[in-house]
A and B are shown apart, each in its own frame.
Chain A
Amino acid sequence: EADIYQTPRYLVIGTGKKITLECSQTMGHDKMYWYQQDPGMELHLIHYSYGVNSTEKGDLSSESTVSRIRTEHFPLTLESARPSHTSQYLCASTGNRESGELFFGEGSRLTVL
């Protein structure tokens, strides 16, 4: 059973607001990821981290930032939300298995009005 948690699960906010999506995992995984997924579409990598104080942008940074101060915590921040940010945001982590299978959180569904 994967132990990776995201909050909030659902959020409706107005344009221009700053928001932080939280992601925590208790598996001691070094590698963590944020993905964005629209209905019926593929997952797009926003940011990833291979360990504490290490963060990289994916192919869709979407004007967001991340931090990795602790192994277990990988928050995603939108400084100024726009309607185009409306989407499902999925956090994932992986350990040291050869396959590198991802364990996903339950997702944060964001609606920007």
Chain B
Amino acid sequence: GQNIDQPTEMTATEGAIVQINCTYQTSGFNGLFWYQQHAGEAPTFLSYNVLDGLEEKGRFSSFLSRSKGYSYLLLKELQMKDSASYLCAVKDSNYQLIWGAGTKLIIKP
């Protein structure tokens, strides 16, 4: 079967750095996405990785290793508004998205 694994919940301090990991086992790979979802709201796109390496976008960076089936989302200079769930999703060989259950990130002052 296909599955995406992420930690259920993480806690970090305002101003710090946090890394959210995602491991995947899918039938084929055509890209990996990270989305942010605030409570009660719809997901919004953060990043897309299709090649190995690090993609940086402001305070957020996303890393991919296809050989290890692994990605992480790195959030720097954490702000209270970063409290949200972070969803990892992989596009499989049929170009369908397989979603993880999300990591709830709690930011403390």
Contact = CB atoms under 8 A, between A and B. Distances in A.
B32 to A, nearest CB: 10
Contacts of B60: none
A43 B99 contact: yes
B87 A106 contact: no
Contacts of B102: 40, 42
B99 A42 contact: yes
A21 interface: no
Contacts of A74: none
B97 interface: yes
A12 to B, nearest CB: 16
Interface residues of B, number: 23
Interface string A83-113: 0000000100000001111111111000000
Contact of A40 (B41, B45, B89, B104): B104
B101 to A, nearest CB: 5
A107 B97 CA distance: 18
B95 A42 contact: no
Interface of A: 40-45, 90, 98-107
Interface of B: 4, 8, 31, 33, 35, 41-45, 48, 50, 87, 89, 91, 95-97, 99-102, 104
23 contacts: A40-B8, A40-B101, A42-B87, A42-B99, A42-B100, A42-B101, A43-B43, A43-B89, A43-B97, A44-B99, A45-B97, A100-B31, A100-B91, A100-B95, A101-B33, A101-B48, A102-B33, A102-B97, A103-B45, A104-B44, A105-B42, A107-B41, A107-B42
